Amino acid sequence: MAMSRWFTLVVGALIVLLSLLPAPVAAQWADVTDQRLADPDKEPQNWLTYYRSYSGWRYSPLAQITPLNVKRLTPKWMLSLGEAGNQQATPLVNNGIIIVTSPLGQEINRVYAVDGATGRVLWKHETKLPEDLSGLVKILSMNRGAALYGDRVYFGTLDARVVALSAKTGAVVWQRTVADYKDGYFFTAAPLAADGKIIIGTSGPGEMGNRGFVTALSADSGAELWRTYTIPEAGEPGVDTWAGESWKHGGGAVWLTPTYDAQQKVVYVGVGNPAPWDANLRKGANLYTNSVLALDANSGKVKWYRQYHPNDTWDLDTPHEHLLLTITRGGQPLGVTFQPQKTGFYFTLDRSTGKFIAAKKFARNVNIWSDVDAETGKLIEVPGMRPAAGAPPMNICPAIFGARNWAHASYNPKTGLVFLPGMELCNKYSIAKEIEYKRGALYIGADFTAYAPGDQAGVVRAIDPVNQKTVWEWWTLAPLQAGGTVATAGGLVFVGTQDGRLVALNAANGKQAWEFFLGAPVTSPPITFGIGGKQYVAAITGGGKVTGDLLVGDDPKLQYLKSLPVGGTLTVFGLFE
């Protein structure tokens, strides 16, 4: 009896003590303003937009996790996103609330709001898709993320709609059909939110034979404010760079979220490849494919453009982020864009004019271009590297996936280094004898098989963009096609790999400091965020045909990747205590 009474007293005392502890602070939504988006470093704990900053850096000022303690990093919670494969979203974080998108095949676009401390789902939104989606969207049925603005969450759908949700409930506020999905239009990119606008570009035109475009919608109502096509039509400047009426099916996708100069109100858009892939069917430079467009954010008008290489016939396009950097030139600061490309070269341009500043090859395996002209910035093409329709396959390097693909680079302003995930792959490549445009069908006309010419196909490079040199490299067998990097003030670079690992590298020397095997390809760029004074790292597993079979090809040393299960899980890591 005495023991029972003692036990009751102890339990009662513990209950009293626990009741006196402060209750966990519930995540509270705070409206996302232009000021917050333009100055993200005032809120190092948050990740409010796709690249975290308008400048595209994917850099976090958080420094709690370092090379000295990263080995204590351990999973804190996991969330199934309800779909195996095709997971490529960047999670966003606002005051402890994670917003993450996820597809359900070609049937549903999903958005989750999650408590970042516990993994508890706060709400889930699902929007049903038409049953007659066709062409490329059935292969690339992913979503790369959302945009936050005010008290709303915005995302694009696989049937070419933009949807605005209440950030607090997930209820639909408005939705707008932007294009006809039966023409092959769809959205996979995360929108850009800025100055009352939701800006998004179309996925797929380079493979579906439609004309790519960028559009700005009113964040408040969804009304279209402007639309800028990436392919000029009859009577517009640049249409003479297309033979005949080939412009009508010219391509020019905007696969990824643009970067943005909030002071100058300029949107920097990377434009994809022309269609079809056989350049003989569209002779000319084919503006504005494989270009950067600097658009006036208020009107959508082209302020300047630069085409990196004309009349592409290898799918080595330039849709990637243009990092907005400031370098010293002639003793004066100069705002520039810096873009490492699928071509295996990186380019630096004057951010105000598009004037060529510098370029250099960073990849090992490039046989299409020998160099870049130091005066004009034009890639010097190697004779005989253009495939002819019906001819035997030829070996081209880089492969169509590029010396880098959509896996994002990051930039650490403290060290001045860009951390670029890349690949060293080549293709056996051929052009079909005949290709004909059909509405809603693939308009490619090429065949390819990938292989790695060396022992290792994946690499992270630390690049000094000012002095144009590679400072260090970290190599791995599997190509780094989709995982991306994030750089931190703690001196780390996190990268996800195709063979299922989340890896931390020492930013100073590229040495591996930690890894965790997630059991499926990491096909989403990792992020880092803070809650309650603690730093966390988040990564998403995925996989699928493009990031699996097509990437592996028939290379014997890469076949092991085909046996890796596809994933569909968001995992959040924190330091073990």
What pLDDT score was predicted for residue 86?
Answer: 85
Q: Is pLDDT at 18 greater than 80 in this prediction?
A: no
The pLDDT-based confidence of 547 (bands split at 50, 70, 90) is low
CA distance 146 to 143: 8
Pairing of strands 97-104, 161-166: unpaired
- At 546, the pLDDT band (50, 70, 90 cuts) reads low
Give the span between the Cα atoms of 2 and 10, in whole angstroms.
12
Cis preceding linkage at 276, omega within 30: yes
3-state secondary structure labels for all residues of 229-257: ECCCCCCCCCHHHCCCCHHHHCECCCCCC
Which domains does the chain carry? 384-519+542-566 (2.40.10.480)
pLDDT at residue number 9: 42
pLDDT one-digit tens code per residue, 444-476: 999 999 999 999 999 999 999 999 999 999 999
The mean per-residue pLDDT over the stretch 335-340 comes to 98
> Is residue 551 pLDDT above 90, yes or no?
no
Percent of the chain with pLDDT over 70: 95
Q: Check residue 552 and give its pLDDT.
A: 87
Instruction: Give catalytic residue positions.
Output: 315
Q: Does pLDDT of 163 surpass 80?
A: yes
Q: Which of 385, 384, 380 is nearest to 370 (CA)?
A: 380
CA distance 502 to 189: 23
| Residue 21: predicted pLDDT | 38
Residue 425 has pLDDT above 90, yes or no: yes
**Residue bearing the bigger pLDDT, 56 or 138:** 56
Average confidence (pLDDT) over 63-83: 97
Least confident residue range of 18-27, 294-303, 397-406 = 18-27
264-312 pLDDT per residue, tens: 999 999 999 999 999 999 999 999 999 999 999 999 999 999 999 999 9
Cα separation values, 102 from 37, 93, 185, 501, Å: 23, 16, 19, 20
Q: pLDDT for 176-186, tens place per residue?
A: 999 999 999 99
Q: How far apart are CA 515 and CA 213, in angstroms?
A: 40
For the cut 50, the answer to whether the pLDDT of residue 8 exceeds it is no
Convert the pLDDT of each residue in 474-498 to its tens digit.
999 999 999 899 999 999 999 999 9
- 236 contact partners, CB below 8 Å, separation of at least 6: none
Could you tell me the pLDDT band of residue 11, with boundaries at 50, 70 and 90?
very low
Best CA proximity match to 522, nearest among 505, 544, 540: 540
Mean pLDDT score of the chain, rounded to an integer?
A: 93
